Amino acid sequence: MLFTMLQEAEHGFEVAEAARQLGQFLAWFGIFGPLGFRFVVMRGGGGSLAQPDRELAAVDQMRAAALKGAATIGMGGALLLIVDLLPWTGRTAVALVCAAVLALAYAVALRGSQGAWALALLAGLVLTFRNVVTLRWTTLVNPVHMTCAALWIGTLFVIVSAGLPAVLRAPLGPLRGPLVRELITRFSPLALFSSGLLVLTGVLTAWRHLGAVNELWNSSYGYALMVKLCFVAGVAALGAWNWRRMSPRLGTDEAAHAIRRSATGEVLVALAVLLVTAVLVSLPAPAEQRQQREQEKSVAAPGVGPAGAVRARPAGVHDDDD
């Protein structure tokens, strides 16, 4: 279905543009996932389950290892965003500065600096809301949408790749199971809030780019959107399963390994969502195509000169990317 959809794209499909979009999505997940992990999942000190002496030292060891892994992912995401912004222009200046600050902050955080995490959070907020100064509120929808997705799936990825391995490797003894349960319990509200806001911003974005419901089955953009929604439903179903069926069982080593496997499956399906989304945003939006056709008709109409012409925007470049 996806191959047919690309063949029927009105203005052709550019693989390079889709690859650039995928790189941006991965960078965003790499940047904001560690922030969600640090400030929500690993907030506070050693954790409410920390015990004196040997147990406290083991919890601190686990925490340091988990945050180091998260900072490594964050630095990789920031560097990927710097590369993805090439060629650097005035339009990308603010995002580029934010990415550079994030890369530096995560590099310092690798040495255990807590202040560096605060700097990374500030740079992440500026990166998300950098368009607010234009007072064009619609330009905030897309970056907020991406940030919500990153706080949900990106944080889950950091839990799977850095948090849970650190817990499972540390000499925690009977604390291991309860600590895993605490990490997942802290993540759940973030996932619910982020996914809810993700749906809201996603509906707004889809309506702006479709312009009409029938474009869902009359355009390549609509086909790609439906494919994306199917994968999103899969991610949501796996998330609901983990929340309602797996989380209550947590508390033992066996359950900790089981939740890691289940969460890994959720992340893999989310990766498929990113791939389809990269295709989606590289296709021409029906609403913009319709506007372009109307402008061309007005230019061709008697008495209307070339001053009314508007340059067509390339596929994948939408108003909310400004």
Res. 90 pLDDT band, cuts 50 70 90: confident
Which two tokens mark 308?
């009314």
pTM: 0.84
Higher pLDDT, 252 or 270: 270
Instruction: Give me the pLDDT at residue 52, please.
Output: 47
Q: Is the pLDDT of residue 317 over 80?
A: no
Q: Is the pLDDT of residue 274 over 80?
A: yes
Which two tokens mark 64?
């340091």
Higher pLDDT, 213 or 46: 213
Q: Is the pLDDT of residue 118 over 60?
A: yes
Instruction: Give me the pLDDT at residue 58, please.
Output: 83
Distance (Å, whole) CA 284 – CA 315: 4
- Mean pLDDT across 227-250: 87
- Mean pLDDT across 14-37: 93
Where are the alpha helices (H) located in 213-285, listed in sequence order? 215-218, 220-241, 253-280
Which two tokens mark 58?
């083991």
Instruction: Give me the pLDDT at residue 54, please.
Output: 59
Res. 187 pLDDT band, cuts 50 70 90: very high
Where are the alpha helices (H) located in the chain, listed in sequence order? 2-7, 15-36, 54-84, 93-109, 114-128, 141-149, 155-158, 164-169, 176-210, 215-218, 220-241, 253-280, 286-300
Mean pLDDT of the chain: 84
- Mean pLDDT across 110-114: 91
- Tell whether omega for the bond before 87 is within 30 degrees of 0, i.e. cis: yes
Q: Is the pLDDT of residue 166 over 50?
A: yes
Give the pLDDT confidence of 30-88 residue by residue, as tens digits.
Answer: 999 999 999 999 987 544 544 545 567 888 889 999 999 999 999 999 999 999 998 88
The tokens 């799936």 sit on which residue? 153
Distance (Å, whole) CA 285 – CA 211: 9
